Amino acid sequence: MTTRFCSHCRFGNSDTARFCANCGAPMSDPGDDATITIDQAGAALASGSIFAGRYLIIEELGRGGMGQVYRAIDKLINDEIALKLIRPEIAADERTLERFGRELKIARKIVHKNVGRMHDLAEDRGSHFITMEYVPGQDLKGLMRQTGRLTVSKAIALTKQICEGLGEAHSLGIVHRDLKPGNIMIDREGNARIMDFGIALTAAGEKAGDAGRWVGTPAYMSPEQLEGLDVDRRADIYAVGILLFEMLTGRRPYVGETPASVALKQKSEAPPDPQTLNPEIPPPLARVILRCLERGPNKRFPDAEALRAELDRVETGLTAEGRPAGAIPPGHAKAKARKKLILPAAAALALLAVATAILILLGGRGAIESIAVLPFETSALGGADTVYLSEGVTEGVISRLTLLPSLKKVIALSSVFRYKGKTVDPQTVGRELGVDAVLVNRVSRRADEVSLIVELIRVRDGSRLWGSHYPYRAADVFTVQEQIVSSITEGLRLNLTGEERRRMVRNYTENYEAFYAYTQGRYFWNKRTAEDIQKAITHFERAVQLDPNYALAYAGLSYAYCVLPDYVNVPPNTAYAKAKENALRALQIDPKLAQARIALAQLHRRYDWDWAAAEAEYKLALEYDPNDALAHHWYGYDLMNMARYEEGIKEIRRARELDPFSLVINRNLGQALFRAKRYDEALTVLRDTLRTAPSFGYLHFYIGEVYLNTGRFQEALQEFQAEKALLKSWAPRIDVWIGITYFKLGQRDKTREILDGLLEMRKEGFVPPTLLAILYFTLGRNDEGFRMLDEACDEHDSEIRQLRTDPAFDSIRSDPRYPAILKRAGLDV
């Protein structure tokens, strides 16, 4: 499916849309803009759109003097890249583009672990862009903004890595000329990567005097650059000195109101001694910085290797804490106090005694790596049925804990909620769920006050790691969630980034009524019946009416509409269009909301039939929330449908680790094992799940599939009939497999009767054409079967996802029409 941008708001819409789903403006004729590119150079690219027919836009990473930078998937090679969209006024100069081309040709020669790779300069319909390696993490500018300044040891380590990358470039005769914090990425392992070799320049040429413009960023430029003289590798050494100065002091050596005033100081004033700004800087390191900042190039370090060697010598004289051996840090107490002042407000609310206890108990051996949160007691709040609120508060704490990088496993809501209202032993629960600790709670009443007592219990020995009281009223539910998670964060000694902290304490709504409506929607969504999914939609819609910026509620609506055709007799096109509209609305509000990314992945798979885009969204969701069981589950299920069985089984098993008692995850693990022809394992999983929940949907069905494909036809028929007896709602899939089994048993008339019955049903409402195709193929009526598959593509029938792997299609795999249908359904990857 192609996408067109709205000419008014640049929102990405389907190629059949008559009005923009974002702003409601009329769309131009599809023939005028049928592919996904931009017709206005410099326009913003929408998340989820396709640029230049090749690049799936995931999110905007930032903006600068050159233009906008996006994270994208190159669909041609299925790899993540960074895409820099060049500002129109820069791209308009042909000499500039020629220069970029020459610079990139040279820069591509640099291959080093501390340098981001450059790829290509390209153009699409008047928009020029550069592609380069995407480095997950944050730039040095953002890191310094969050921390104020870095420790001595961290600053030295990063600077040495910058020197290594520069050394490789300099050996090839390449000078960066625009080193600055925004061009240094810190990857997830904490390593420095130099970015933008060959493109972080203006159109001025080699000398600043050309056209009267500077090449670089004045605050980080050497005096010879500012004077328009020739530059060599020592200009980069000067910039490294400023970077190191800024990392250690929290400010640049030269500060002014304008770039011109900064440049004047660079050329006329000696830099300040960094020790006067940070007494913890060792004298040898201060001398290194000042040598880098010498005005005369000949007085600086001759190259990056010499600078790195000197940093090695300085480092040798430091202790592990980043100070000279035996030195007393004069500013240590003040620095510690400053660090406390910048903690988020929610963390400050946590009781000091709680945080201290956790620090003592969790800091040593036996660190907590997995947690289960038992359902929160909400009956004390009174009012309406508080089971919804209990689920909402519990999920709120769980969803925050899943973002903690040190926790490898946080048990999902559906598995812990089985303990709701029961008197349980935390150690027993912890062992059942396979976790290190269990978060338990109880309500305490004293006079008119109601308090929530929360405790963290170690499973290994039953010890109480910490506990605290929280005021407990309906209006306090948001604060309580923040306080609990902040306490755990402090206890695990997590060095979270500013962005991680913000997401940890974020409330997606401050409207209690909207929150309550959302919790009701989640409650019914988790029940997974036709009636309950429709109820969930009603409650989610109520939530977004009460708070139009409630991203989680939009994601919930998207989930519900996404699975609606699986349970209710509605055309997929209608449901999926609504699902996509709500997923994109959620991402407009919060581009890093994992739940919305999961929903969009499903829609790329079910609606757009774009597997590369779907996989990219799943990976992005798991990057934002690696402990999300639903992301692992749905990703694994779709991997199964792409015949990537072992990968799919691995993902679904990971989902089961996070949500061990989820019936749907266990059931679909059995289905994935069946598709991989691991029949005995499949039967074991399915039978075990059936013993746990004898009436849960489709367990008999999948057991029947195993029997059908291992020649046990009579047993298969019994299982399918047992399934039909359990399901009270519309279930044509069961009828189809009963028809297949009758055919295997030689009762072909019954197969034809079932087909005729489904065709009659089709006159009254939607019947998945894929299911009708299966019966046609079973009866050897292949022409009619392929006609049905064409209709399935037209109607976006979700059942067609099974086309590549379901044994029901084995009879047509050699038909020359089969590959064309696979391709049309996006299953030929």
* Residue 467 backbone phi and psi in degrees, to 5: -160, 160
Tell me if 100 sits within 8 A of 120, measured CB to CB. no
Given a contact cutoff of 8 angstroms between Cβ atoms, the answer to whether 52 and 122 are in contact is yes
Residues 6+ apart with CB under 8 A from 170: 233, 236, 303, 304
Residue 76, both tokens: 């041609």
CA–CA distance, 276 with 807 (Å, rounded to integer)? 75
Query: Do residues 671 and 685 touch, judged by C-beta distance below 8 A?
Result: no
Residues 6+ apart with CB under 8 A from 506: none
**Could you tell me which residues are beta bridge partners of residue 451?**
444, 471
Q: Are 800 and 826 within 8 A, CB to CB?
A: no
The strands making up 370-373's β-sheet, listed across from edge to edge, are 409-410, 370-373, 437-446, 449-458, 464-471
Looking only at the bridges linking them, the beta strands covering 370-373 and 409-410 are: parallel
Who contacts 561 (Cβ-Cβ below 8 Å, separation ≥6)?
537, 575, 576, 578, 579, 582
Q: Give the active site residue among 74, 93, 120, 178.
A: 178
Phi–psi pair at 219, nearest 5 degrees:
-65, -20
**Alpha carbons 224 and 266: distance in angstroms, whole number:** 10
Rg (CA), the chain: 31
Which tokens hold the place of 357? Answer: 């206890």
| CA angle centred on 77, ends 73 and 83, rounded to 5° | 35
Residue among 654, 555, 650 nearest 596 (CA): 555
Instruction: Please give the Cα distance from 633 to 677 (Å, whole number).
Output: 20
- Enclosing H/E stretch for 442: strand 437-446
What is the identity of the amino acid at 381?
A: L
Question: How many other CB atoms are found less than 10 A from the CB of residue 164?
Answer: 18
Q: What is the DSSP string of 326-369?
A: T---TTHHHHHHHHHHTS-HHHHHS-HHHHHHHHHHHSSSS---
Sign of the torsion formed by the C-alpha atoms of 570, 572, 574 and 578: positive
Strand partners, 467: 455
Q: What angle do CA 284, 288, 293 make, to 5 degrees?
A: 145
The position carrying tokens 């019954």 is 750
Q: Which residues share a beta bridge with 690?
A: none
Please answer whether residues 192 and 114 qualify as being in contact, where contact means their C-beta atoms are separated by less than 8 angstroms. Answer: yes
- Residue 672 host element (H or E): helix 663-675
Instruction: Give me the sign of the Cα torsion angle 54, 56, 60, 62.
Output: negative
Give the list of residues 6+ apart from residue 225 with CB closer than 8 angstroms, or none. 177, 208, 214, 215, 216, 231, 235
Strand, helix or coil for residue 447: coil
The beta-strand segments (E) located in 156-286 are: 184-187, 192-194
778 token code pair:
């079973």
Residue 507's closest CA among 566, 458, 552?
Answer: 552
Q: CB within 8 A of 287, min separation 6: which ones? A: none
DSSP 207: S
Does residue 178 carry a catalytic annotation?
yes
560/525 Cα distance (integer angstroms): 7
Question: Which helix (H) or strand (E) segment is 557 a member of?
Answer: helix 551-567
Catalytic residue set: 178
